[in-house]
Amino acid sequence: MLTKSTRDIAASFSRRGVLAATAGLMLGLATLTGAKAADDTIKVGVLHSLSGTMAISETTLKDTILFLIDEQNKKGGVLGKKLEAVVVDPASNWPLFAEKARELITKDKVSVVFGCWTSVSRKSVLPVFKELNNILFYPVQYEGEESERNVFYTGAAPNQQAIPAVDYLMKEEKVKRWVLAGTDYVYPRTTNKILEAYLKSKGVAQEDIMINYTPFGHSDWQTIVADIKKFGSAGKKTAVVSTINGDANVPFYKELGNQGIKAKDIPVVAFSVGEEELAGIDTKPLVGHLAAWNYFESIKTKDGSNEKFIKDWQTYTKNPKRVTNDPMEAHVIGFAMWVKAVEKVKSTDPDKVIDALPGIEAPNLTGGVSKMLPNHHITKPVFIGEIKGNGQFDVVWKTPGLVAGDAWSKELDGSKDLIGDWVGKKCGNFNTKTNKCLGSGS
């Protein structure tokens, strides 16, 4: 794609002819502004794994940014310049993420980077973005407990996904007993810690919470599914809150289906299962299991914005079956916000754009308008969807309005007094009790 865009520019020159090009150049020189605009582009870095274990999820996000850049260029680009994507492949290798981020910023001189999926990859690139002062848009739901000046979190914080999902199960399904099942790494561990604290604050007893971790790529779920079945037969309504990541979901759901655990008996609500993941399984035995997201492909909008996005995306990818998902929407919102901020300050200078971003609003794909908050998280609606037989979701519940993302969880002792505020306090972890900025405020 990189070479394609350069080829396009070259082609446009030859088509218009040397004369026109010279004329344009002279005109540009005469006006002194935009002299470089004719042959200059704004570079946008794309830092998503295209090989290795995470390629399954991240490749789509790379395509999304290319699609958004293509659309923006059709509208004339930004500040009169075309956008140019610089795609690198960090190959699901965490240290390589930092290397590639450095390469994007210092060698390719990108103005902004859209990238990362796993929390460990985000943590690995953080020092690079701080040191070289650039902007990262991070599109995936994550465990929270972070607010950095150079990072904008367009995915859901725990209070925008996990907590509303648990609320739904408590109110609608009258769940009294909870299985918190996750893959053994930082996102599930932190999310489960937050959920455990939240459940206990709602009066759930310790013996009604079962926490279970499995290794990455776990494929033999027989024992765990049998344990869940046993845990669920204590006479109280039971649900599973799943932070099981990636590939391990398919065998987990297959085992649930085969052992006959139906959603109406023990529903499973998942935070990492979207349209993309379901594309690999026959969903008929899973009908009724739930997922909590800020976006579903099946959502109908009054102004038709989601429908139009899906259609344009499928035309762009030349695949009428290509699905859309939540992290894609996060990139759509983040990209639109970045474009607006750049146009507002008429510059791509990271310092100016970082200061301009809080307060910027951009329409999301579900008919609302999301806003960038001073803590660098955004406001989002929360939806609970039920899996349907065709691999899509049917929205059964949504929050009445938009939910503001909390950088620091209110449920955990260590973080309930902290806020992130990059506008007034210029601090990512400001303690409201002691009125002090802990650590890395600039």
Partner 1 sequence: MLANLPARLCSLLLSLFLIAFALPAFAGPFEDAVAKFANDDFSDTEEAVGVIASSGNKLAFPIISALQDGRLMADPDSKKVYVTGTDGKSIDAATGEAVTSVPDSASAVRLNNRLRRSVDAALGSLTLQSPDVGTRLQAAQSVFKSHEETALEAVDAALAKESNKSVKTALGEARAAILLFKPDATEVEKLEAVATLKARGDQEAMALLTGMGDQPASVTKAAASAISSIQSSLAVWSTVQNAWYGLSLGSVLLLAAIGLAITFGVMGVINMAHGEMVMIGAYTTFVVQEVIRTRYPGLFDYSLLIAVPLAFLVAGAIGVLIERSIIRFLYGRPLETLLATWGLSLVLQQAVRTMFGPTNREVGNPSWMSGAFELGQITITYNRLWILCFTLAVFAILLAMLRYTALGLEMRAVTQNRRMAASMGIATSRVDALTFGLGSGIAGIAGVALSQIDNVSPNLGQSYIIDSFMVVVFGGVGNLWGTLVGAFTLGIANKFLEPVAGAVLGKIAILVLIILFIQKRPRGLFALKGRAVEA
Tell me which residues touch partner 1 (CB under 8 A). 50-51, 53, 55-56, 59-60, 172-173, 184, 212-215, 217-220, 222-224, 226-227, 229-230, 232-236, 247, 250-251, 254-255, 257-260, 263-265, 267, 276-277, 279-282, 285, 288, 386, 394, 396
Backbone angles phi, psi at 45, to 5 degrees: -85, 140
Residue 371 amino acid letter = K
Q: Output the smallest distance, CB 81 to partner 1, in A.
A: 32
Q: How far is the CB of 248 from partner 1 (least distance, A)?
A: 9
Rounded Cα gap, residues 341 and 189, in angstroms: 35
The answer to whether the beta carbons of residues 155 and 188 sit under 8 Å apart is no
Structure token digits, residue 365: 């794909």
CA angle, corner 250, sides to 160 and 216, nearest 5? Answer: 75
The least CB distance from residue 149 to partner 1, in Å, is 33
Min dist. Cβ of residue 409 to partner 1 (A) = 24
DSSP type of residue 17: H
User: Closest separation between CB of residue 19 and partner 1, Å?
Assistant: 43
Measured CA distances, 401 to 136, 266, 354, 411 (Å):
27, 29, 26, 21
By the 8 A CB rule, do 85 and 1 touch? yes
Is residue 243 a contact partner of residue 165, using CB atoms and an 8 Å limit? Answer: no
d(C-alpha 374, C-alpha 364), whole Å: 19
Minimum CB separation from partner 1 for residue 395, in Å? 9
CB of residue 32 vs partner 1: minimum separation in angstroms? 48
Nearer to partner 1, 205 or 438 (CB): 205
Distance from C-alpha of 313 to C-alpha of 64, rounded to nearest angstrom: 8
Nearer to partner 1, 25 or 279 (CB): 279
DSSP 236-260: S-EEEEEE--GGGHHHHHHHHHHTT
Of 109 and 236, which CB lies nearer to partner 1 in the complex structure?
236
Q: Which is nearer to partner 1, 146 or 386 (CB)?
A: 386
CB of 223 to partner 1, least distance (A): 5
**Residue 200, H or E segment:** helix 186-201
- Identity of the residue, 118 or 379, whose beta carbon is nearer to partner 1 in the bound complex: 118
User: Which residue, 386 or 406, is less far from partner 1 as judged by CB?
Assistant: 386
CA atoms within 13 A on the CB side of 215: 4
Least distance (Å) between residue 330 CB and partner 1: 19
- Give the whole-angstrom CA distance, residue 169 versus residue 351: 43
Nearer to partner 1, 88 or 373 (CB): 88
Q: How many beta carbons lie within 10 A of that of residue 441, not counting itself?
A: 16
Kindly tell me the sign of the dihedral angle through the C-alpha atoms of 427, 432, 434, 438. negative
In the complex, the smallest distance separating the C-beta of residue 210 from partner 1, rounded to whole angstroms, is: 11
In this complex, which beta carbon is closest to partner 1, that of residue 76 or of residue 217? Answer: 217
∠ CA 12-15-20, rounded to 5°: 90
User: Using CA atoms, how far apart are residues 381 and 405, in angstroms rounded to an integer?
Assistant: 10
**224 vs 360, which CB is nearer to partner 1?**
224
C-beta closer to partner 1: residue 58 or 421: 58
